[in-house]
Amino acid sequence: MKKQLTVALGLAVLATPAFASKARLQALGEDNYGSAYISDNRNIWLNAAQINNHKDLVTYEFGTEQTGDDAATPRGEGGFYRTSGNLAYGVHFGGASSTSNAMRLASGLAGAGEQNNIDVFVGGDAGMKWGANLGYAKTSDESSPLTGESMRTRLGVISGDTQGYANINLINNAKGTAGKKFEGQMGYQLGAIHDWNGSTLFVDYRKFDAENTTDKKDIGLKQLEIGIGRVTKLNDKTNMFAKASYLTAEVDNENSTNVFGAGGLTPCGTGNLAVFCQEYKTSRVPVVVGLETEATSWLTLRSSVGAVVWGSEEDKTNERSIQNATIVNAGATLKFGELSVDGVIGNGTAQGAAPAANGTDTGTLRTDSLMSRVSMTYKF
């Protein structure tokens, strides 16, 4: 359902709602599955009622990756969203859950990520905006040990300045290599958002549990974030964004023996993700500021910088303050009438890659691979 538990800093910026994509949100340091205070069509994955605010468009995320999803190896997906009277509806293909895929991999099921995902959205406005989603994915192959099935729903409302949402995992089962089996229990994400005096207050809580039923080993994660975001209009072409939050998270993974490596944010395994730690706890205060400006009538540039201004983390054997906790991102949008093409601007040693969490990027602009994670949105 939602994102992998990176438990890093991921917040940032946004300017006009004409742009809407993973590429844009990632370039601004925001989570790919939506923002609490930024207007973007990806917000339908956070609060399904947002389909009432982001409709009459088609969107594409270019890529070939099936299980992972980052700037270097993006996952292809896309969908369309229309209106009919007071109803809004949409169908999206390929919207796999990064959390589900990470938990399956962290449970020892290599290659058993979600596939063949289809999501249906519907919403309406009867004085209070509402929205609902049902997502389903199934893989079955008698000649292969890799099979799986998942189902989840998203429910949300928007009433005046206040939003509420509940995203619930209903089914999440898989079988991987060596006969290993994964069984997800009920997982959920609950949240509330309120616009107050020009700022946005939010609270988000999520909890997911599963079991490697072959080895009888459990994996669980939970996270709470409380924060505030604010948009400041500098002029008619530029917006500045600022966000601060308090985040606490915990992971228990009986399938893992990983503890801290050298440096980086939560470096306990693949992708430096906390879900690969045997045990992990953190409390932190991430702050992000960003800028988005219309450089010309056909080009928009954006960037953000985020840092953990205070934080600590511990695993089974170590405890320390947060290290290497500053991340800089950048991106651009090319505009052709109602068509927008977004991309992350690469600046690291890995071609097409976004800045690495462990600070290994050189800071050199890659002109041979200027934009990665390319997305396209057309409004009609």
Distances (CA, A) of 7 to 44, 57, 84, 258, 312: 22, 32, 39, 16, 12
Instruction: Please tell me the distance from the alpha carbon of residue 369 to that of residue 98, in angstroms, as a whole number.
Output: 25
Residue 16 lies in a domain: no
Structure tokens at 164: 């509420």
Location of structure tokens 């063949």: 116
Kindly report, residue by residue over 296-305, the tens digit of the pLDDT. Answer: 999 999 999 8
pTM: 0.87
Q: Answer yes or no: is 113 within a domain.
A: yes
Q: What is the CATH classification number for the domain harbouring 36?
A: 2.40.160
Number of domains the chain contains: 1
- Quote the pLDDT of residue 90: 97
Range of the domain at 353: 22-379
- Nearest Cα residue to 232 out of 199, 201, 196, 195: 199
Question: How crowded is the C-beta side of 298, counted as CA atoms within 13 Å?
Answer: 2
In a domain, 9, yes or no: no
Which pair of structure tokens corresponds to residue 157? 């409302």
Query: Could you tell me if residue 164 is inside a domain?
Result: yes
- Assigned domain for 4 exists: no
Q: Is residue 12 part of a domain?
A: no
pLDDT tens figures, 151-194: 999 999 999 999 999 999 999 999 887 778 999 988 999 999 99
- Report the pLDDT averaged over residues 213-221: 91
Interatomic CA distance for residues 83 and 90, integer angstroms: 9
What are the pLDDT digits (tens) for 252-285? Answer: 999 988 888 765 666 676 666 788 888 999 999 9
Is 2 part of a structural domain of the chain? Answer: no
